[in-house]
Structure 1
Amino acid sequence: MSRPSRITHLIAGQPWEGTAERTSEVFNPATGEVTGRLDLASADLVGEVVTGAKQAWADSWGNISLAKRTQVLFTFRELLNRDKEKIAALITAEHGKVLDDALGEVVRGLEVAEFACGIPSLLKGGYSENASTNIDVYSIRQSLGVVAVISPFNFPAMVPLWFVPVALACGNAVVIKPSEKDPSATIAVARLWTEAGLPDGVLSVVNGDKEAVDALLVHPDIKAVSFVGSTPIARYVYETGTAHGKRVQALGGAKNHMLVLPDADLDLAADAAINAGFGSAGERCMAISALIAVESIADELVAKITDRMGKLRTGDGTRGCDMGPLVTGVHRDKVASYVDAGAAAGADLVVDGRGAQVDADGDGFFLAPTLFDKVTTDMSIYTDEIFGPVLSVVRVASYDDGLELINANPYGNGTAIFTNDGGAARRFQNEVEVGMVGINVPVPVPVSYYSFGGWKNSLFGDTHAHGMEGVHFFTRGKVVTSRWLDPSHGGLNLGFPQND
């Protein structure tokens, strides 16, 4: 067993050289080994980083031209594309998801960087000449200053990439606090910004736990906070941040439903249930964890899902398996406890992932795909966000019953309907009380130029991630009313005008 490496903060483009008072362990989930010891930031260190970021924003980035900002963004996009396989390998090593899934995560984040490259047009305001006699009115959008991004363990590259490119493109300085479970991918991506030419201090990574989070939430120079995580913590981040005068977008948990109607293509629906339920070991806020089947086709659909589950391979994410381990032993045991509870509550345990054979060396944090049928809405496997490879089938009599069940749920992140009836699909998209809807699409994550976010207890704050809502979140609007005397000016310059 190799000695765990030191993982530390990245401040102003350089590894931190101090000595941490506290550290935490980083694991390889496929083997159970401790591979890293992570320096945890104190509140004082967070304060120093924020002060440096504010100075860097004021001295350089906050007033740099859109042309120069865009040059950095385009260069970063090329560097991220160059290193996407390396970053995917870091994700697999610390999170556990299989390599192709990790690569997909990086590529979806890359799409947001590409969106941010269009910032000159995204920041354009409006102009009204002669709103009153000789008076013009126009609007502009300006950066906020220093903003914080607090990201979760399940997407250590993609979630920071939802926010950071847009925040930087809008002219802000950024402090990132990645998950302490798998920080290396976030740090690797941050290094690319320095290589792309971002001025020192404009972007820093501080690793930490609640102490670092609280320090960011209360610091007076942090103007906005973007957070993704569980609903209880999202609520805490939102309430604490807004109480200290910050703009906050806090994306919380989910209990995503997939409604399958009798006219649906059941083979397509079964494939989708597998892909959306067990991809990334179910550790996605957009995972389908509750399959709502109309009774008349429930038996056939469950049989098709069961057959497909028998072909899945669980193991080390580097070995071409379909599903990897869960992120930590503690989390694996928590998910397994829900399987215990579901069986005890009387649900039909069709496929039991506890104790399954896996393709891996060592004592990794594995729980194979698990399927329950005839789940009722009072069982914990239905009410709670399990965040693991556990799919629960709830049977209903009709479309109306399925819709009522979905709308009664306190979460409203994502949902899907499988049907060949266009009228039913259109009715569903109109009536369902959920922020992101898929029609024969099981994981309806919006592309980068639309915005990501749910309803109800899945989002605290009014603004969703990336897209134009992201641009608005990281800027403030200003309207200018102006009147000028007719000026005289002159001078000769025959050179072609250039952006600078």
Structure 2
Amino acid sequence: MTKHVTHWIGGKPHDGTAERQGDIYEPSTGTVSGKVDFAGRAEVDAAVAAAKAAFPGWRDASLSKRTKVLFRFRELVSEHRDELARLVSSEHGKVVSDAAGEVARGLEVVEFACGIPHLLKGGFSENVSSRVDAYSILQPLGVVAGITPFNFPVMVPMWMFPVAIACGNTFVLKPSEKDPSASVRMAELWAEAGLPDGVFNVVHGDKAAVDGLLHHDDVRAVSFVGSTPIARYIYETAARNGKRVQALGGAKNHMVVLPDADLDLAADAAVSAGFGSAGERCMAISVVVAVDPVGDELVGKVKERVARLKVGPGDDPESEMGPLVTRAHRDKVVSYLDGGVAQGATLAVDGRETPVPGDGFWLGPTVLDHVTPEMDAYRDEIFGPVLSVVRAGSYEEAMDLLNANPYGNGTAIFTNDGGAARRFQNEVEVGMVGINVPIPVPMAYYSFGGWKSSLFGDSHAHGMEGVHFYTRTKAVTARWLDPSHGGVNLGFPTSG
């Protein structure tokens, strides 16, 4: 029997009949494992209405009550982390260990949000005028929405909803229709944790569901993670409808390897950051910039490591890389191999030759060498297990290459020269920088987000920027009359 995934509205599964549905696949076999209901305007309206009705009570809930629910949710997710990881692996294709790491990173944001009593402290100034105090308070926005991608169906929603809910908002999540089950399981865990009905809702679907949220008058803010073209569309559409927006877009993350670097460390990093989760992540290293004369030696070390990678089903404990999420996406990624060679690159490792089981959406780790900035493999966000190697003659040439790229999500440098590393972190026009680490992902108490075409809006995800995104500041000026003077005005000016 195939599974059936439906919406979560008002604290329970939706009991309506879907006019449209989508297939859920098992990527390692290529077979359909279930159906997911697609929301139309009626389902979106119902979810937003449930969130709107729940907002006054949740907004007025004490900080101690909110944190009690958050702590309980954190414990439940921790208890069910293996279940969530296997659920993600079965629909996305990533190996279970990758999926477990995703759950762990999401939990870090929940733990950050558990500190909301401290994070929501405002400012206070006493006696700004005679017996007059001024202070600021942070208040929730109302109903907020999150639109999230297929590659991290647990972690990316957790960049959003723990902070939003902790701040007193109510939330509507529109996850990817490709791997929808984890979002509903998290909704069930929220309910078990004691979250009031309607505070967290889930609607599945495609563009119709997205547009329903972007145009809804009662949705105050929208958070998004996905490709740059869709991020731009989300930002322009939601902003035009008067909403606060944070839209995180695509990436083309470069890793610069200087001649003095530890090449074994750099090769390990290139392989783990390039092929983890089959390269389907916005923080994957997709371009290695080898600064002369280390290119040949570095590529040789990468090839040695790639040859040892075990590609197989996500639920096989020995697998280190799983399949891609859909057949169409796999075929698109494969097109860059012959296209790269036709444009002058060298296919150092051909992932099509990797032994794989069955008829799933497979492509092994691939290395394209001697890639140049004019090639499609360099310019496009491939979002798959294809690592491009670009040769640079100097540090300055490598820096010019990075800063000319329209994306600015993440980057890394490998060097033993502290001065070069410091210069790099100051000069590179990228939002997140790693030094001798493969994936420069900040912790939950720092914000996540890039620059340039990798971000539309002003706020990054989670951290204190997340708290400020999900709240608005109210400034209060208060004057109290002194009873000992008969309640008379003690001199506060009436204007100015």
Could you give the per-residue CA deviations for residues 423-470 of structure 1, whole angstroms, max 9, x where no partner exists? 000000000000000000110110000000000000000000000000
Match of 2:293 among 275, 291, 296: 296
| Residue aligned with 1:296, SS | coil
CA distance in 1, matches of 2:254, 2:266: 13
Match of 1:343 in 2: 341
Over the matched positions of the two proteins, sequence identity in percent amounts to: 66
AA in 2 matched with 1:49: A
Match of 1:476 among 469, 472, 479: 472
Aligned residue runs from structure 1 range 209-288, under 5 A: 209-288=206-285
Q: Give the superposition deviation at 1:136.
A: 0.2
Match of 1:53 in 2: 51
Match of 2:425 among 422, 429, 438: 429
Match of 1:494 in 2: none
CA distance in 2, matches of 1:393, 1:434: 19
Q: Give the superposition deviation at 1:486.
A: 3.2
CA distance in 1, matches of 2:428, 2:188: 42
Match of 1:364 in 2: 360
Match of 1:376 among 372, 389, 397: 372
CA distance in 2, matches of 1:48, 1:39: 15
Measured at CA, do residues 416 and 487 of structure 1 come closer, stay the same or move farther in structure 2, by a change above 3 Å?
farther
Could you give the per-residue CA deviations for residues 469-488 of structure 1, whole angstroms, max 9, x where no partner exists? 00000000011000012359
Equivalenced residue count is 483
| Residue aligned with 1:371, SS | strand
Match of 2:95 among 91, 94, 98: 98
| Residue aligned with 1:36, SS | strand
Q: Give the superposition deviation at 1:251.
A: 0.3
| Residue aligned with 1:378, SS | coil
AA in 2 matched with 1:198: L
Q: Give the superposition deviation at 1:13.
A: 2.1
Aligned residue runs from structure 1 range 100-499, under 5 A: 100-319=97-316, 320-358=318-356, 360=357, 362-486=358-482
Could you give the per-residue CA deviations for residues 13-55 of structure 1, whole angstroms, max 9, x where no partner exists? 2111110000000000011110011100001210121012101
AA in 1 matched with 2:67: T
Q: Give the superposition deviation at 1:356.
A: 2.2
Alignment check: 8 A CA contact 2:95 2:319 kept? yes
| Residue aligned with 1:444, SS | coil
AA in 2 matched with 1:412: G
CA distance in 2, matches of 1:77, 1:312: 34
Q: Give the superposition deviation at 1:346.
A: 1.6
Normalised TM-score (structure 2): 0.97
Match of 2:30 in 1: 32
CA distance in 1, matches of 2:277, 2:301: 21
CA distance in 2, matches of 1:221, 1:98: 39
CA distance in 1, matches of 2:425, 2:49: 46
Structure 1 gap segments, 5+ residues each: 489-500
CA distance in 2, matches of 1:377, 1:42: 42
CA distance in 1, matches of 2:291, 2:187: 47
Could you give the per-residue CA deviations for residues 143-198 of structure 1, whole angstroms, max 9, x where no partner exists? 00000000000000000001100000000000000000001111111211111100
CA distance in 2, matches of 1:48, 1:375: 50
Match of 1:12 in 2: 10
Segments ≥4 residues shifted beyond 3 Å: none
Structure 2 gap segments, 5+ residues each: 485-496
| Residue aligned with 1:194, SS | helix
Alignment check: 8 A CA contact 2:239 2:245 kept? yes
Q: Give the superposition deviation at 1:355.
A: 4.1
- The range that moved more, 268-277 or 46-55, is 46-55
- The range that moved more, 7-16 or 118-127, is 7-16
| Residue aligned with 1:388, SS | coil
Match of 1:82 among 69, 79, 90: 79
CA distance in 2, matches of 1:387, 1:190: 29
Alignment check: 8 A CA contact 2:9 2:46 kept? no
| Residue aligned with 1:310, SS | helix
Could you give the per-residue CA deviations for residues 406-437 of structure 1, whole angstroms, max 9, x where no partner exists? 00000000000000000000000000000000
CA distance in 2, matches of 1:353, 1:146: 45
AA in 1 matched with 2:182: A
AA in 2 matched with 1:363: D
Match of 1:495 in 2: none
- The range that moved more, 134-143 or 43-52, is 43-52
Alignment check: 8 A CA contact 2:9 2:50 kept? no
AA in 2 matched with 1:279: G
AA in 1 matched with 2:453: N
AA in 1 matched with 2:78: N
CA RMSD, Structure 1 to Structure 2 (Å): 0.8
